[in-house]
């Protein structure tokens, strides 16, 4: 068991979230599901909590109700080796009601925020040459989904 497990507060749709997350991320699995009983507060038989793992990182989902929706204050970053991976995660997590935001950020169908980041982007933004890093930053600020070829073109111009 890992020392710290993020807990994601959902308002229903926990089964759907588990299905989506464990299908999008190939190295994933549902580890445990607890259901509400007759004493509630949720509907008897519905998922109360679930523990699942993505790429070795454990998460918990709590079916807690509408009191606390997701906000931009918390997001998860997916590190991608190439454009194919960026496209895959972007398309998968915006499908079925997700939303493209900006600068590599998106909102999945449940309102959870994700950053889909190609590995090259942080290296460009941290370049010791401020002109190159700023060109990469300016290009990124014009994008929703990150386009590596356009980043490289701006960075190398």
| Domain spans of the chain, in order of start | 1-68, 70-157
**In the predicted model, what is the mean pLDDT of residues 112-134?**
97
54-75: pLDDT as tens digits: 999 999 999 999 999 999 999 9
Whether residue 128 contacts residue 109, with contact meaning beta carbons closer than 8 Å, is answered with no
Please give the class, per CATH, of domain 1-68. alpha beta
Q: What's the CA gap between 145 and 106, in Å, rounded?
A: 8
What pLDDT sits at residue 95?
95
The answer to whether residue 98 scores a pLDDT higher than 80 is yes
Question: Percent of the chain beyond pLDDT 70?
Answer: 100
* pTM reported for the whole predicted model: 0.92
- Which stretches within 29-129 are classed as H helix? 83-94, 120-125
What pLDDT sits at residue 45?
93
Q: How many CB atoms lie within 10 A of CB 104?
A: 23
**In the predicted model, what is the mean pLDDT of residues 91-101?**
96
The answer to whether residue 1 scores a pLDDT higher than 80 is no
CATH, domain range 70-157: 3.10.180.10
Whether residue 5 contacts residue 51, with contact meaning beta carbons closer than 8 Å, is answered with yes
Band (pLDDT 50/70/90 cuts) for residue 99 is: very high
What's the Cα-to-Cα distance from 125 to each of 11, 55, 63, 116, 145, rounded to whole Å? 37, 26, 38, 15, 17
Angle at 143 between CA 108 and CA 71, to 5 degrees: 35
**In the predicted model, what is the mean pLDDT of residues 133-151?**
98
What pLDDT sits at residue 83?
98
Band (pLDDT 50/70/90 cuts) for residue 40 is: confident
């Amino acid at each position: 068991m890992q020392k710290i497990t993020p807990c994601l507060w959902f308002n229903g749709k926990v089964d759907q979230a588990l299905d989506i997350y464990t299908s999008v991320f190939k190295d994933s699995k549902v580890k445990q599901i607890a259901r509400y009983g007759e004493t509630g507060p949720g509907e008897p038989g519905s998922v109360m909590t679930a523990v699942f793992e993505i790429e070795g990182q454990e998460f918990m989902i709590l079916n807690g109700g509408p009191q606390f929706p997701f906000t931009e204050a918390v997001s998860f970053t997916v590190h991608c080796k190439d454009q194919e991976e960026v496209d895959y995660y972007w398309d998968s997590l915006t499908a079925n009601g997700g939303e493209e935001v900006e600068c590599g950020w998106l909102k999945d169908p449940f309102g959870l925020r994700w950053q889909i980041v190609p590995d090259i982007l942080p290296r460009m933004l941290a370049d010791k040459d401020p002109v190159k890093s700023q060109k990469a930053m300016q290009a990124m600020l014009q994008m929703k989904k990150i386009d590596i070829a356009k980043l490289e073109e701006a960075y190398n111009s």
